[in-house]
Each structure stands twice: as C-alpha cells, then as structure tokens.
C-alpha cells in the first residue's frame, strides 16, 4: 500500500509541475500580430513585462527587410492614424535595448513594413491607415524585460532655409572662408548640417574645395554660419568662384533640404 501511494504521489507531481511551469511561462496576449493590443488614443505610454514573450516566423520575415540583430520577445500593438499626422514610437525608456518595426496594414495579410529601428521609429502616411507596431529585444542574448513604449503623433515636418554671402575670403593658407545665414525648425541640430562644394578656376586648373558645418541650431531663428572650405588640389585666391551649398534639417522622420548656388567674389585676407 505504501509503494502504491508513493507512485500515485510521484505521478501527480509529474502532472502538476509541467502545468505550473506552463502557467508561469505563458506568453502575453499580444505576443503575435493577431493579438495586437489596440491603442485608442495618442499619446499613450505602455509599460509591459516581455520576459515571457516569444518570436516567430512572421518576425523573421519582417526582419529580413529590417536587419535587426534579433527579434526576441516581440509584442504587438495596433494604432489607427485617423488624421494622417503620422506615428512616432519611442522605446528608449525600456530597461533593455528595444527595437521597433512599424507595418502599414495587417502584417499577416499583405501589410508593408514602413519603418524600423532601435529605440525610435516613425512614419507618416494616408489618413485612416492602421499601423501594427512590433516592439522586441534586438539583443540576441536577451529575451526581453520591462518595455516602456510611448506612442505619439509624428512631429511636424522639418523646415530649412539658407543664404550664402556673395563675398568670400581666401585665407593665407589657401583655404576659402564663406559666410551666410540659416534657419530650421522641427529638426535635431546634431543630425543636421550645412555643407557645400566650392570651385575656382586658376588658369586651366579647377580648384575644388569642400566645407561642412555641424551641429546647427534648429529653433526657428535666423542665425549666422561660417565655414572654411579646404582643397586638396590647389589654393584659393582673389577672383571669382562658385559654390553649390545645401542645408539639411533632419527630424525623427524626415529631412528638409534647401540648396543654394551662387557666384562668389573672393578677396585675400589673413584669417
């Protein structure tokens, strides 16, 4: 009788342990695209434990277009952009490196991947577009953690304006100093710049130079800029020159650009 009771106890324990483990390891309801959590209004910040989330073939199929190191512990959300303002998703407050993929339309039924990236991703499309958003661990050795994802409307498109002064100065070392003004809005100054090419003819030789200004300040104010164009095939001197300059003002989603071409009057200087 004692042996029989022992066998029954062992068998019961064997049945209970897997069931308990299965409950403990249950994947979240939004583990797949079919269970995507609908977010009714923006902005919205979601905090979720993703340590029991999984990854699947759909994740891998989408990642073939994105190229993330991993798509571990993926969870899904669904947002309808009623106005066409666009969608911005920020996962940088998570306690692990969380990547983002944004799909326009149902990813299981022909939806198109429109944006992806680590920590921050955004898109803009037609009013009424439904976006499926996948947040995941992009670290191969990390399943997940505490995801903190903020969903908001995409920021307004950047703007940019640029002027280049007609007068330029050839310095003592053969470089060319240019000046002008610029303004930009809705952009990250560290991801934005002013750059350009300068060309001056010296007999049969064309002297080519390049300049680059970064970072710039994108607060909407008109600001001054100056740059030193250097050449690797000659020295700039007094006379005429031409420049093709451009400003790039880049936000989370897109860049604005304004090119300027003009003829320069170059004088000699000491600085």
Q: What is the pLDDT of residues 110-168, one digit of tens each?
A: 999 999 999 999 999 999 999 999 999 999 999 999 999 999 999 999 999 999 999 99
**What are the helix and strand counts (H, E) for the chain?**
2, 17
Residues 105, 195: Cα–Cα separation, whole Å: 38
Q: What pLDDT is stored for residue 24 in this prediction?
A: 57
Mention every residue, 6+ apart, whose C-beta is less than 8 A from residue 126.
Answer: 84
Instruction: Give me 194's structure tokens.
Output: 């002013």
Average pLDDT over residues 99-107: 98
Strand 112-118 versus strand 72-81 pairing type? unpaired
Residue 23, pLDDT above cutoff 60: no
Q: Are 255 and 158 in contact (CB under 8 A)?
A: yes
Confidence of residue 252 (pLDDT cuts 50, 70, 90): confident
pLDDT in tens, 35-81: 999 999 999 999 999 999 999 999 999 999 999 999 999 999 999 99
Can you say whether residue 244 is alpha, beta or left, with left for phi > 0 and alpha for psi between -120 and 50 degrees?
beta
For residue 178, pLDDT beyond 90: yes
In order of their start, the domains of the chain are: 29-153 (2.60.120.380), 159-268 (2.60.40.10)
Q: Are 215 and 249 in contact (CB under 8 A)?
A: no
CA 142 – CA 99 distance, rounded (Å)? 12
**CA end-to-end span of the chain, whole Å?**
103
What is the pLDDT at residue 25?
Answer: 75
Mean pLDDT to the nearest integer, 231-239? 96
18 pLDDT above the threshold of 90: no
Q: What is the mean pLDDT of the chain?
A: 92
Q: HSE on the CB side for 158, CA within 13 Å?
A: 25
Q: Is the pLDDT of residue 199 over 50?
A: yes
């Amino acid at each position: 009788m004692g042996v029989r009771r022992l066998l029954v106890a062992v068998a019961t324990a064997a049945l209970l342990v897997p069931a308990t483990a299965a409950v403990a390891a249950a994947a979240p309801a939004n583990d797949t695209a079919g269970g995507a959590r609908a977010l009714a209004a923006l902005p919205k910040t979601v905090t979720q434990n993703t340590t029991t989330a999984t990854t699947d073939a759909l994740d891998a199929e989408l990642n073939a277009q994105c190229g993330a190191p991993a798509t571990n512990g993926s969870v899904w959300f669904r947002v309808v952009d009623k106005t066409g303002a666009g969608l911005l998703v920020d996962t940088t407050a998570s306690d692990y490196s969380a990547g983002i993929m944004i799909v326009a339309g149902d990813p299981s039924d022909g939806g198109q991947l429109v944006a992806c990236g680590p920590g921050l991703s955004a898109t803009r499309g037609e009013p009424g577009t439904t976006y499926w958003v996948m947040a995941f661990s992009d670290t191969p050795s990390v399943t997940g953690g505490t995801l903190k994802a903020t969903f908001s409307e995409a920021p307004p498109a950047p703007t940019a304006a640029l002027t280049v002064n007609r007068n330029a100065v050839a310095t003592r070392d053969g470089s060319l100093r240019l000046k002008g003004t610029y303004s930009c809005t809705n952009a990250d100054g560290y991801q934005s710049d002013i750059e350009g090419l300068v060309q001056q003819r010296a007999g049969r030789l064309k002297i080519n130079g390049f300049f680059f200004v970064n970072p710039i300040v994108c607060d909407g104010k008109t600001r001054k800029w100056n740059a030193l164009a250097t050449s690797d095939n000659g020295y700039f001197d007094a006379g005429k020159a031409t420049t093709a300059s451009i400003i790039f003002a880049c936000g989370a989603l897109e860049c604005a650009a304004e090119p300027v071409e003009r003829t320069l009057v170059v004088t000699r200087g000491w600085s």
